[in-house]
Amino acid sequence: MQKHLRLEDLASFDRFTRANIINSLSGFKSASLIGTVNKNGQPNLAIFSNIVHIGADPALVGFLNRPLDAAPHTLSNIQETGSYTINHIIADIFPQAHQSSAKYPADISEFEATGLTPVYHEGIIAPFVAESHVQYSLELKQIIPIELNGTFFVIGAIQDIFYPEEIQEEDGFLALEKAGSICSLGTSAYYETKRLGKLAYAKP
């Protein structure tokens, strides 16, 4: 049976129910961990799913950061160092990745708290997640404050990309399911994927 919720219905729910509806409504997302360090070298790791492709040339990726009081560390570290990494979550680590969303104090590294392993590559300040099979580093380009609700749209330029060679198809496409990358839904659910098909460039 089809349900119809109106704007005024949404207002009638408690905030958790409302958040669960709205968070899941916009669909499956890229389940990723963002690694950063502050100016003292203290590492930070946080789970993000609201990640978009902005363009290929220049290669730009954006993510949505919650308001500063809810999620301060990733954004301030990126502002301090200009550097961050995005690491795909695989099925083996999704409970640990989810745990990184807990509100730890600034002096606690979520790597230590969750048991995930930081790994550093030469010339890149921010840490990667060793357990992740597809990883890339970014250089901060722009932070756009969203005045409607105090969030931030953060845009970075892709610098270095690491992935298992065998997942790449002839046209360049990265078959992420072969690297074990998963997706997420809402704030709490994680999914593996199975390919239905890959289609040619559409023409009228």
Phi, psi angles (nearest 5°) of residue 24: -85, -25
Checking 7-14 for CB contacts under 8 A at 24+ apart, the result is none
Q: Which is nearer to a second copy, 41 or 198 (CB)?
A: 198
| Two structure tokens written together for 195 | 């390919």
| Two structure tokens written together for 103 | 């509100």
Residue matched to tokens 């380009």 = 141
Q: Which is nearer to a second copy, 9 or 39 (CB)?
A: 9
| 161: Cβ contacts below 8 Å, ≥ 6 apart | 135, 136
Rg for the chain (alpha carbons), in Å? 18
Residue matched to tokens 């995005």 = 86
| Two structure tokens written together for 35 | 């690694």
Least CB distance to a second copy at residue 118 (A): 17
Q: In DSSP terms, which residues pair with 34 in a beta bridge?
A: 46, 86
Least CB distance to a second copy at residue 68 (A): 14
Q: Which is nearer to a second copy, 115 or 169 (CB)?
A: 169
Q: Which is nearer to a second copy, 115 or 173 (CB)?
A: 173
Least CB distance to a second copy at residue 60 (A): 6
| Two structure tokens written together for 113 | 């708290």
Least CB distance to a second copy at residue 112 (A): 12
Q: Which is nearer to a second copy, 39 or 106 (CB)?
A: 106
Least CB distance to a second copy at residue 38 (A): 19
